[in-house]
Amino acid sequence: MNQLDLAGCKLAICLGPGGVGKTTISAALAIEAASAGRAVDVMTVDPAPRLLDALGLGADASEPREVDLREVPGANRGRLRALRLDPRATFDAIVRRHAASPAAAEAIIAGRIYRNLASAFAGVADYMAMEKLLELAADPATEFIVLDTPPAAEALDFLDAPRRLLALLDSRAVNLLTPRRGVLGGSMVDMAARAVLSAFDRVTGLKLLADVQAFVRNFDGMYEGFAERARHAAAMLRAESTAVIVVTTAESGRIAQAREFIAALGNAGLRVHAVIVNRAMGELPDARGIARAKLPAALKRKLRKNLEDHAALKTRETISFDTLRKELPLTAGLLLAPELDHEPRSLSDLAQIATQIHRA
């Protein structure tokens, strides 16, 4: 059992720079929670399909799929499901669930405006991840969710998606497009907006005004639902039952990135529960063992030199840990995940990583 206590948590969000093994740690924590008897869902927002590969699932797993845990010792008490976010499929499902009627839902999905929405507006994919997270959290059969986010720079945008959506829904641009005040209304600004769109239609022949009017008409009544769910998602991210976990490695550059990231999370009002330094070096062997070994002198010299090099790396690693520890919030623990002697290729490897996580 590792020393990261997540027993009282309903959601763990793993964040960190790219290439530090964040996806591996996410999968390992999910497997351990399932091994402890919990019903767990793990979702990756990272476009690289490493989590699904590690869990033996295909890249098309946009809905939760059961992971076979039989190869993990003692993992027969819980349940683990995994999925990879598909923003378009999630958006389609939300429209079908919340539109005024099935006909309105299909009209929205078939329209040009909607088909280009995900690529036209920044943050749609981020918010769809939040919608999927809310869906998983609403499942009474799920006790714990592990969320594997994009690399650090994108993760901050991802975590800010609920606030940005609320700002968008409250913006003048969206208000102009709603039936209350939009191009269907009668104010001078609305009339000017309609005149611009009409002129654009005449020049291009795209019939944009008709498309916008149809989109707004079919979407009427759904804006409040999006806003309410955005508020719910924002509250979930900051709940006491949510653990924000920053994953990094011991390289000085990665440690510096992690420190900046932790500060940014604090500024955003997100409490860091723990920092896990992945692929940490293990304990070094005693040099006296080399002297006692019955080996050729030349080989002993090479082994001693190799040990000296590793000792220097270990010293630099320890300095990095001490620097990071001094800047951690009081609520955050510093933990190490020792490096395996091979790349994790199986569920058993991931389970082993989880059990070896310990306090620095």
Residues in the chain: 360
At 357, is the secondary structure helix, strand, or coil? Answer: coil
Q: What is the pLDDT of residues 272-305, one digit of tens each?
A: 999 999 998 888 888 888 888 888 999 989 999 9
The model carries a pTM of 0.81
Q: In what order do the strands lie in the sheet with 358-359?
A: 65-66, 79-84, 39-44, 144-148, 11-15, 242-248, 272-280, 333-338, 358-359
The rounded distance, in Å, linking the Cα atoms of 89 and 91 is: 6
Q: What is the pLDDT of residues 194-223, one digit of tens each?
A: 555 555 455 555 555 566 666 666 777 777
Per-residue tokens: 136:
């998983």
Q: What is the pLDDT of residues 50-64, one digit of tens each?
A: 667 778 777 677 889
Question: Which residue stretches of 36-182 are H helix?
Answer: 50-54, 87-98, 102-110, 112-115, 117-120, 124-137, 152-159, 161-169, 172-177
Q: What is the pLDDT of residues 35-88, one digit of tens each?
A: 989 999 999 876 666 667 778 777 677 889 999 888 887 666 789 999 988 888
The rounded distance, in Å, linking the Cα atoms of 172 and 182 is: 10
Domains and CATH numbers, the chain: 11-96+126-154+238-282+289-359 (3.40.50.300), 179-219 (no CATH)
